[in-house]
Structure 1
């Protein structure tokens, strides 16, 4: 009976800490494997760029004009989708002008 609390604590830790981390790692691996040319990504270091070419575990990342970086695929943190430009119909109108 003295092992029962220990087993319960281990079970709680598994479901609160280990399992969510495994899910996150699985999603990250899927993201890295699905990267293709033309995707906008953010690296772990905070560098933004567009993937210009994928060569196995290495990608070529265009960061500015003619500047391309050769980067390990594992350095990709997330895809970057810039917010869409607001159109005139989406901009709220004011009831009265400021005088």
Structure 2
């Protein structure tokens, strides 16, 4: 007898809830809002930063001061496709793949130099 009333109560719980398309949208509304928040706070800024880094790598020129992914500062002495020769000290150069350049060492000074 007890189990019949429990089963009946469990079956009746779904009957009184919101029905139709509006009820289904209301159920997914929190998920939609969470995705929108994640997109605008996490995904979009990360994509923007990656795009800026890709543009910076494409615009590298001879003479630019760069910071490598390993933390070494140097000046680009030659470019050969994706292979850069970076002078770390006078008379000491290393070859670095373009993808391992973390950024410009002095971006403001480099922009001033290019403007002149």
Band the TM-score falls in, shorter-chain normalisation = 0.7 to 0.9
**1:24-58 deviation digits (Å, cap 9, x = unpaired):** 00000011111111001111111000000111111
> Cα distance 1:83–1:57, how it changes in 2: closer, same or farther (>3 A)?
closer
For 1:2, what is the secondary structure of its paired residue?
Answer: helix
Q: Which residue is equivalent to 1:74?
A: 99
CA distance in 2, matches of 1:57, 1:2: 50
Higher RCO, Cα 8 Å, sep 6+:
1
Q: How many residues align?
A: 84
TM-score of the pair, normalised by structure 2: 0.68
Alignment gaps of 5+ in structure 2: 1-25, 110-116
Residues 1:22 and 2:20 aligned together: no
Larger Rg: 2
Q: RMSD over aligned Cα, in angstroms?
A: 1.8
Residues 1:50 and 2:61 aligned together: no
Q: Report the structure, 1 or 2, having the larger strand content.
A: 1
The offset of 1:81, in angstroms, is 2.1
> Cα distance 1:23–1:57, how it changes in 2: closer, same or farther (>3 A)?
same
